[in-house]
Amino acid sequence: MDQLVTANVATNLYWLGRNLERAKQMLYKISKAYDLIIDVDRDAGVKLFQTFDIKLEYSDSVDFLQQAIMGEHSSNILEIMTNARESAIICRHRIDSEAFGEMIELHALFDTLTKTDIEIDYKLIDKAHSLISEIYGALAKREHTNNSDLFIRMGKLVEEADFRLRFNKDETITMTVIDEIDAIVKTLSDEDEESTKQTQSQSSDETDLITAINTKINQVIVE
Amino acid sequence: MLEKNTELHAKFWEIFNKQDRHKVDEFQTYMDKFAVNFNLYKDGNFIEQSLPFDVVPRIISTEEFAKIDKGLQQRVKALNLFLEDLYTDAKIVKDGIIPETFVKEASGYLKEFVGFSPSQKIRAHINGIDLVKDSADDEWVILEDNLRVPSGSSYPLSIRDTYRKIYPDFFENLKINPIKDYPSMILESMEHVSTGGINVVLTPGRFNSAYYEHSYLAEKSGAQLVRPHELKVVDKKVYFKNYNGKLIRVGSIYRRTDDEFIDPKFFNPDSLIGVPGLVEAYLAGNVALMNAIGNGVADDKGIYYFVPKMIEYYLGEKPILKNAPTYLPYFEEDRKYIFDNMEKLVIKDVAEAGGYGVLFGHEMTALQIEDLKTIVKANPRRFIAQELIEFYDEKCYLNKELQNRKADFRAYVVAAEDIKVWQCGLTRYALEEGNYLVNSSQGGGFKDTWIMEL
């Protein structure tokens, strides 16, 4: 029998995975740029955000953290966390309860910043990374045991592929990530469906890969 | 007035006094972390908040609860028979036990459903019966029957798990009845009435005040949580829309939506939280709805007056649990008594719920009482009057000190092949000392309820 998941829950599980991975990758990149801004390359933050078509301005390394995490732009970590929290609440009945609790805590970590004068520093980033690792750990307990976990994993991998392509990471590993996405799409779809063709064979160049992946995901989740 | 201390209470305090009080804060941390919320709309804003929780449980001995259990089974059995009778043969009306006009004027009575009998003839599947313990005679008294969409069971269920982790001493040293079977009681009921297909919990959505509970009960009972547009009615059959577009037949719906919003094709056409065509499928016998449509007539505060009579009429038994002494201004003799004694009575509007529409005579001025008499005289069916019951206070550990608060008890009674009473319930306490209103919507909090023995 089919695994039963509504399209809304499936979509929110998928976006929970994407937003968590997006936060993880962004925090990692912010952390690296912060280190460079201190005494190596003052424009490291500007360059990082150019990758996302965002013009970021800051006065020093500490201000960079503030602007990168809480600034008014689309890669604002608080907004990513708010979206992830919302997805988690909608599909809480389909995710591990510990992972859910850590997710709420992760959001609260950033939300508190809007209500207090706490200065953003490296400890906050470390704490956020730890919580994300804990969430992944909790989710891994049941990973691949039902469709709910596959939707989260699919979101995580799509985001990972997106980052790898944006930052020109090692192609072999990127293709391995995409192969895994293909495998999940196959599991979630009927096996004889056209959509389960290998993404790599469908795409002529790397820039088309994400479009190809997104098309498949739209075929998996039918609204 | 505080309930008398028993050996069970003494044992509790003996253990409590040895515990680290700082750990009490961990309950709130838990509720925040796991978003154990009861949401509210205030001034047009959606506010996510947890229900206030008090660590001191209400303690009921297994012996005392056995009587409550028996009395509630009896009551819910009679209420189910009443609903089935009322919507089919209406013998109770024909035999003059309840006046016909009285039933027909009940806002929850839906004449469109006369002649329809639901799956297994069960109408009140999941019921929340509100009781208080009267300090005058130490007896439990029924205050209200909630046979439509009673909420609250998920809060004690969630907190019990946490309690066991934070303070295991109590559970190691006392014989406290386990409570984890509630979701399986719901599942049993869903399976019993199912017309064939999967079970779903129908929620209005993420912004409903009780979304946490909908989600929790769906997860624990193994039912699918669905929003209205995730169900589709085709040829008078209800289907679950799976993520891949496939339609899966639904046999039983535990709906958390009121009658008037459940199907825009049948009831309120403006409802955005209904499933178009659902009522047609229900009337065709193709899906079970829990609870049945039209149950509102039985938890009408005016009909409550007749429940002891129903028990005698349908079961030929004396009620095990008593009602609060209630008067209906609809009857002339009662009206005279009410008007002569209004300053000591509690006047309730039958159409209100959640602690709204409740007036305490002793808090009203002479002028207000005269005004109220005029209103009651003009529309006697709309009101009931009850003697004020001095129900017991419970000890609460609030702001790091013990304080007394009035507390009621909502028991959950689930009907499947048999009627079962959950060995727990929702004890609600009032926000302020001396306040009689314990409803969550009035700012009240909740406690765990321990049915236990030494």
Residue B232 has pLDDT above 50, yes or no: yes
Q: What is the per-residue burial (b if ≥16 Cβ within 10 Å, else e) of B73-112? A: bbbbbbbbbbbbbbbeeeebbeeeebeeebbebbebbbee
CA distances from B95 to A47, B68, B88, B220, B309 (A): 86, 30, 14, 44, 12
Which residues of B, range 184-223, sit inside 8 Å of A by Cβ?
A: 198, 206, 211, 215-216, 218-219
Asked if B39 is an interface residue toward chain A (Cβ–Cβ < 8 A), one would say no
Q: Mean pLDDT, chain A, as a whole number?
A: 88
Q: A56-98, pLDDT tens digit by residue? A: 999 999 999 999 999 999 889 999 999 999 999 999 999 999 9
Asked if B32 is an interface residue toward chain A (Cβ–Cβ < 8 A), one would say yes
Query: CB under 8 Å to B299, separation ≥6 — which residues?
Result: B108, B144, B145, B146, B147, B148
What tokens were used for B89?
């043969």
For the segment B285-294, the average pLDDT, to the nearest whole number, is 98
By three-state DSSP, how is residue B222 classified? Answer: coil
Residue B407 has pLDDT above 90, yes or no: yes
Query: How many beta-carbon pairs below 8 A join chains A and B?
Result: 65
**Domain extent at residue A31:** 7-220
Confidence of residue B45 (pLDDT cuts 50, 70, 90): confident
Interchain CB distance below 8 Å, A93 and B248:
no
User: For chain B, which residues make up each domain, given as ranges?
Assistant: 7-195+287-318+390-453, 325-387
Interface test with A, best of B29, B34, B244, B250 (most A CBs within 10 A): B244
Interchain CB distance below 8 Å, B33 and A101:
yes
Nearest-CA neighbor of B38 among B120, B151, B125?
Answer: B151
Confidence of residue B215 (pLDDT cuts 50, 70, 90): very high
By three-state DSSP, how is residue B441 classified? Answer: helix
For the segment B193-221, the average pLDDT, to the nearest whole number, is 96
Q: A158-194, pLDDT tens digit by residue? A: 999 999 998 988 889 999 999 999 999 988 886 555 5
Confidence of residue A223 (pLDDT cuts 50, 70, 90): confident
CA–CA gap between residue B166 and residue B170 (Å, rounded): 10
Q: Which residues of chain B have a CB within 8 Å of the CB of A100?
A: 34-35
Q: Is B39 exposed, middle or buried (0-12, 13-18, 19+ CB in 10 A)?
A: middle
Interchain CB distance below 8 Å, A89 and B240:
no
Q: Is A15 exposed, middle or buried (0-12, 13-18, 19+ CB in 10 A)?
A: buried
- CA A75, A94, B413, B97 torsion: positive or negative? positive
Asked if A7 is an interface residue toward chain B (Cβ–Cβ < 8 A), one would say yes
CA–CA gap between residue A165 and residue B22 (Å, rounded): 50
Interchain CB distance below 8 Å, B242 and A105:
no
Interchain CB distance below 8 Å, B248 and A4:
yes
Q: Which residues of chain A have a CB within 8 Å of the CB of B26?
A: none
Cis peptide before B291 (omega within 30 of 0): yes
Interface test with B, best of A3, A92, A221 (most B CBs within 10 A): A92
For the segment B296-302, the average pLDDT, to the nearest whole number, is 91
Residue B380 has pLDDT above 80, yes or no: yes
Domain assignment present for residue A39? The answer is: yes
Residue B151 has pLDDT above 60, yes or no: yes
Which residues of A, range 179-198, sit inside 8 Å of B by Cβ?
A: 188-190
Whether the Cβ atoms of residue B392 and residue B407 lie closer than 8 Å to each other: yes
Return the CATH fold of B325-387.
Dna Ligase; domain 1 (3.30.1490)
What's chain A look like in SS3? CCCCCCHHHHHHHHHHHHHHHHHHHHHHHHHHHHHHHHHCCCCHHHHHHHCCCCCCCCCCHHHHHHHHHHCCCCCCHHHHHHHHHHHHHHCHHHCCHHHHHHHHHHHHHHHHHHCCCCCCCHHHHHHHHHHHHHHHHHHHCCCCCCHHHHHHHHHHHHHHHHHHHHCCCCHHHHHHHHHHHHHHHHHHCCCCCHHHCCHHHHCCCHHHHHHHHHHHHHHHCCC
For the segment B355-369, the average pLDDT, to the nearest whole number, is 91
Q: Kindly report the nearest CA distance between residue A90 and chain B, in angstroms.
A: 6
Q: A10-45, pLDDT tens digit by residue? A: 999 999 999 999 999 999 999 999 999 999 999 999
Confidence of residue B274 (pLDDT cuts 50, 70, 90): very high
Q: Which residues of chain A have a CB within 8 Å of the CB of B245?
A: 222
For the segment B432-453, the average pLDDT, to the nearest whole number, is 88
The pLDDT value recorded for residue A214 is 79
The pLDDT value recorded for residue B454 is 83
Domain assignment present for residue A122? The answer is: yes
The pLDDT value recorded for residue A193 is 53
CA–CA gap between residue B299 and residue B352 (Å, rounded): 11
Interface test with B, best of A4, A83, A223 (most B CBs within 10 A): A4
The pLDDT value recorded for residue A3 is 80
Asked if A2 is an interface residue toward chain B (Cβ–Cβ < 8 A), one would say yes
Measured distance between the N- and C-terminal CA atoms of chain B, rounded to whole angstroms:
25
The pLDDT value recorded for residue A203 is 60
Interchain CB distance below 8 Å, A93 and B215:
yes
Residue B80 has pLDDT above 70, yes or no: yes
Residue A202 has pLDDT above 70, yes or no: no
CA–CA gap between residue B423 and residue A119 (Å, rounded): 50
Q: Which residues of chain B have a CB within 8 Å of the CB of A190?
A: 244
pLDDT cut 90: percent of chain B above it: 87
CA–CA gap between residue A173 and residue A175 (Å, rounded): 5
Nearest-CA neighbor of B449 among B417, B420, B414, B409?
Answer: B409
Residue B76 has pLDDT above 80, yes or no: yes
The per-type count for chain B, helices as H runs and strands as E runs, is 14, 22
For the segment B51-65, the average pLDDT, to the nearest whole number, is 96
**Number of domains forming the structure of chain A:** 1
For the segment B251-264, the average pLDDT, to the nearest whole number, is 97
What tokens were used for B97?
């036990």
CA distances from B105 to B82, B266, B346 (A): 16, 20, 22
What's the CA dihedral at A180, A185, A186, A187 to 10 degrees?
90
What tokens were used for B372?
């109220």
Residue B254 has pLDDT above 70, yes or no: yes
Confidence of residue A1 (pLDDT cuts 50, 70, 90): very low
Domain assignment present for residue A206? The answer is: yes
ipTM at complex level: 0.85
Interchain CB distance below 8 Å, B240 and A108:
no
Q: Mean pLDDT, chain B, as a whole number?
A: 94
Name the phi and psi angles at A132, rounded to 5.
Answer: -65, -40
Nearest to A105 among B33, B242, B248 (CB): B33
- Parallel, antiparallel, or unpaired: how do β-strands B401-415 and B393-398 relate? antiparallel
Domain assignment present for residue A1? The answer is: no
Whether the Cβ atoms of residue A66 and residue A120 lie closer than 8 Å to each other: yes
Nearest to B244 among A94, A105, A220 (CB): A220
Asked if A106 is an interface residue toward chain B (Cβ–Cβ < 8 A), one would say no
Residue B440 has pLDDT above 80, yes or no: no
Interchain CB distance below 8 Å, B35 and A89:
yes
Confidence of residue B164 (pLDDT cuts 50, 70, 90): very high
Interchain CB distance below 8 Å, B248 and A220:
no
Asked if A222 is an interface residue toward chain B (Cβ–Cβ < 8 A), one would say yes
Interface test with B, best of A1, A3, A5, A6 (most B CBs within 10 A): A6
The pLDDT value recorded for residue B47 is 86
The pLDDT value recorded for residue A146 is 67
